[in-house]
């Protein structure tokens, strides 16, 4: 693992799909003057690339070979968002389709894919001052991070949030379809053999069900005060 700048130690935020990790993590990073990395986008990019190349996502070795070929980079915009480039093309806008949602858990369960992504995540963390968001950041990617947060909410709350996102984008998807897809993703993410979704032993659990967005960010700032 590359040396981490100890004066700007990383923050790990994990949690299930649509627990608010990305939006909260981004706002939190801005407040503390850190960069932000949403690692889910990296697995989504690998999934989009596999689909785009007509690869059967249940074929582990074919997926692994494709991702080894994929030339990708993550760029931070001035507003702190992440853009993902594959072979020099910005594919960020294509990574939240229902097709990618439905296949990303399979791709993320391929060991070789995780090795490639984790290596890049650790390289980026080595540059210091980063809030990294995902499923296994506190447990696997950055086990020495002094602040580990696990954001959570019930599957129903999360499906309602995702449904609202689709409506805001003008995309029509039935609520039940989203709920089923999310339940399935939770199951695969938390039961996979490699790096399953689970809080690190020393993670602080933040339940966001009854909290407004700003309240969650404030809570994180409060937790960071003692540590960063």
Q: Is 152 in the site for ligand DC (CB under 6 A)?
A: no
Binding string to ligand DC for residues 67 to 106, with x set by CB under 6 A, is what? Answer: -------------------------------------xx-
| Smaller CB separation from ligand DC, 9 or 40 | 40
Q: Do 226 and 144 form a contact (C-beta atoms < 8 A)?
A: no
Minimal distance in Å, beta carbon 189 to ligand DC? Answer: 5
135 counts as binding ligand DC under rule CB under 6 A: yes
Own/partner pairs for 80-83, CB < 8 Å, 24+ apart? 80/26, 80/29, 80/30, 80/35, 80/36, 81/26, 81/36, 82/36, 82/37, 82/38, 82/41
Instruction: Name residues contacting ligand DC, limited to 179-198 (CB under 6 A).
Output: 185, 189
* Of 162, 160, 122, residue with least CA distance to 39: 122
Residue with tokens 């690692």: 39
Min dist CB 21 to ligand DC, Å, is 6
Q: Would you say 29 or 222 has its CB closer to ligand DC? A: 29
- Around 66, how many Cα atoms within 13 Å sit in the side-chain half-sphere? 23
Binding site for ligand DC (CB under 6 A): 17, 39-40, 43-44, 104-105, 108, 134-137, 185, 189
């Amino acid at each position: 693992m590359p040396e981490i700048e100890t004066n700007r130690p990383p923050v790990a935020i994990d949690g299930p799909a649509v627990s608010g990790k990305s939006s909260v993590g981004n706002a939190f990073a801005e407040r503390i003057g850190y960069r932000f990395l949403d690692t889910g986008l990296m697995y989504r990019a690998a999934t989009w690339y596999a689909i785009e190349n007509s690869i059967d996502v249940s074929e582990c070795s074919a997926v692994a070979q494709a991702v080894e070929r994929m030339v990708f980079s993550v760029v931070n915009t001035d507003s702190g968002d992440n853009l993902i480039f594959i072979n020099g093309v910005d594919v960020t806008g294509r990574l939240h389709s229902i097709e990618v949602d439905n296949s990303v858990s399979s791709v993320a369960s391929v060991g070789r894919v995780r090795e490639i992504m984790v290596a890049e995540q650790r390289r980026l963390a080595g540059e210091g001052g980063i809030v990294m968001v995902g499923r296994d950041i506190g447990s696997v990617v950055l086990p020495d991070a002094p602040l580990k947060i696990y954001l959570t909410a019930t599957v129903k709350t999360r499906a309602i949030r995702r449904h609202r996102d689709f409506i805001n984008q003008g995309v029509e998807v039935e609520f039940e379809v989203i709920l089923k897809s999310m339940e399935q993703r939770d199951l695969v993410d938390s039961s996979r053999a490699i790096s399953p979704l689970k809080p690190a032993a020393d993670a602080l659990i933040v339940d966001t069900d009854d909290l407004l967005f700003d309240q969650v960010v404030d809570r994180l700032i409060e937790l960071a005060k003692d540590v960063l």
